[in-house]
Amino acid sequence: MQGEKQLPWVKEALTELRHLEEISQTRKLTTTECAYDPWLRIDGKEMLNLASNNYMGYAGDERIKNAMIDAIHTYGAGATASRLIVGNHPLYEETESKLLSWKNAEAGIIVNSGYTANVSIISALAGRGDFVYSDKLNHASIVDGTILSRAKFLRYRHNDLDHLESMLKKNSNKNRHLIVTDSLFSMDGDFAHLKELVQLKEQYHALLMVDEAHATGVFGKKGEGYSYHLELQDKVDIHMGTFSKALGGFGAYIVGKSWLIDYLSNRMRGFIYSTALPPAILGAAKAAIELAEEDQERRTLLHDHAAHFRRSLTDYGFTLCGSQSQIVPIMIGSNEKTIKFAELLRHEGIAAIAIRPPTVPENQARIRFTITADHRKQDIEWAAEKVALVGAMMGVIG
C-alpha cells in the first residue's frame, strides 16, 4: 500500500469511496426505465417500486406531460438566461400566480430546485453573527445553506423543543434568529411539532422557515402542505416546497409575505446567478398544482395505502421510527444487516433503499419504503408479506 501515499488526494479518496461502494452497492447508478411506474424494471428484473417520491403518481400523468409539450411548442426548449436577464418567460408569471392562489399567499417565487432554494434562502437570511436553529434530522440542503451563510449553526435534537428553547434562551437579544425545520421528515416519516415551534419563534422573535418538500401535494385540504393541514400557514414566515416529489416534476417554490419575497429575490444567489427553468418545467408545475388542488380523492387513497402498510408492518413486529405518513422506515440497526436486508428484498422483487449513516445516526440504519397513490391495495399487502418474510429470515422480527 506504500505507493498509495504518492497518489493525489482525489485518487485516494476515490479508492476509499470505491471500497465503501463495494460493501454497500447502493451508490451505484442503475438505469431505471419508467420510474413513474409502480412496477419497475431494474437491470431487467421486475420490481415493486417502494423507493420513489412520486407520491401522487403525477410523474406519469398524461395531462402534465401534455402541458409540458404545449410549453415547449409555445416558448421553446430552454430559458436562455437567468430570470433577471431575459429568461423570465410568461409561464413564470402564470405559474407563480397559480401558486399564490393555491397557497393563499401574499407573494411567492419559483426557483430551480429544492436544494437551490434552501441553500439560497438560508444564506440570504442569515450571516456572520446570526443564529440558525436546525432540527438534527433536517435535509442536507438546509445544512449546506446554513454552512454557506456563516451564521452560528445550532442543531437541536430531533423534535426536542426543550433543547431548542435552551439554545434560544442563551442567545436571545443577539442579532437575527432563524429556526428551520422539515415539516415531514424524509428519513423517519414523522412530523415537526409546528404548533410549538410557532410559539417559540414568537416568544424569541425568530423567523420560522418550514420545508414542505415531502408534504407538498400530500397534506392539507388542497395539498398545500402540512402547515396548512394544521392551519398554521399564517404563522410560518417562510414556506418552501418542491415540485419534484408528489408533484411529479422539478423545481421549488417559496411563499411568504411580500417584504420577504422581495428581499429574497434581490438576495438569493441561486436565483440571481442561475439560468431560469425551461418552459416545460413550468408547464408541468402549473398543471400539477391544478391537479393537486382538486385531487382529494387521490390523497385519501394515498393515506389509506400508507396507513395500511404501516399497520401491517407493525403487526408483523417491525419498529417504524414514528412514521405517520407515506414515508415508512423500518429500523434495522447495523449497516451490514441493512444492506443485506435491501439485497434480499430486491431478490424478492422489492425496490427499497437502505439508509445508513451519515444520513441517519450511527446504528440506526434502516430500510425506507415510500408508498404512492399508484400502488394497488394488493401491491401493499404483497409487499408487507415479503418484507415480513425477509425480516423473519434475518431475525429482525420474531
What residue number has its CB nearest to ligand PLP? 114
Residue 311: which residues within 8 A CB-CB, separation 6 or more? none
Q: Which stretch binds ligand PLP (CB under 6 A): 5-13, 99-107, 207-215, 373-381?
A: 207-215
Q: Does 368 bind ligand PLP (CB under 6 A)?
A: no
Is 56 in contact with 372 (CB distance < 8 Å)? yes
For the beta sheet containing 152-156, the strands, ordered from the edge strand earlier in sequence to the opposite edge, are: 107-111, 252-256, 238-242, 207-211, 177-182, 131-135, 152-156
Q: Quickly tell me which residue has 400566480 as its cell.
A: 97
DSSP β-ladder status, 238-242 and 353-355:
unpaired
Question: Cell digits for 151?
Answer: 451564521
Number of residues assigned to the chain: 398
Task: For residue 214, indicate whether it is catalytic.
Answer: yes
Task: For residue 186, indicate whether it is catalytic.
Answer: yes
Q: Which stretch binds ligand PLP (CB under 6 A): 109-117, 154-162, 276-284, 285-293?
A: 109-117
Task: For residue 183, indicate whether it is catalytic.
Answer: no
Distance CA 159, CA 141 (A): 19
Residues 234-253 that bind ligand PLP (CB under 6 A): 242, 244, 252
Candidate list 61, 96, 188, 211; residue touching ligand PLP; CB under 6 A: 211
Candidate list 52, 123, 141, 325; residue touching ligand PLP; CB under 6 A: 141
C-beta closer to ligand PLP: residue 133 or 316: 133
Q: Does 186 bind ligand PLP (CB under 6 A)?
A: yes
Q: Does 325 bind ligand PLP (CB under 6 A)?
A: no
Q: Which stretch binds ligand PLP (CB under 6 A): 38-46, 113-121, 163-171, 266-274?
A: 113-121
Q: How far is the CB of 340 from ligand PLP (least distance, A)?
A: 26
**Identified catalytic residue from 89, 158, 245, 305:** 245
Q: How far is the CB of 392 from ligand PLP (least distance, A)?
A: 32
Q: Does 98 bind ligand PLP (CB under 6 A)?
A: no
Distance CA 86, CA 334 (A): 52
Candidate list 114, 248, 249, 283; residue touching ligand PLP; CB under 6 A: 114
60 three-class SS: helix
Question: Cell digits for 266?
Answer: 434581490
Question: Cell digits for 5?
Answer: 501515499
Distance CA 320, CA 213 (A): 21
DSSP β-ladder status, 152-156 and 131-135:
parallel
What residues line the site for ligand PLP (CB under 6 A)?
113-115, 118, 139, 141, 182, 186, 211, 213-214, 242, 244, 252
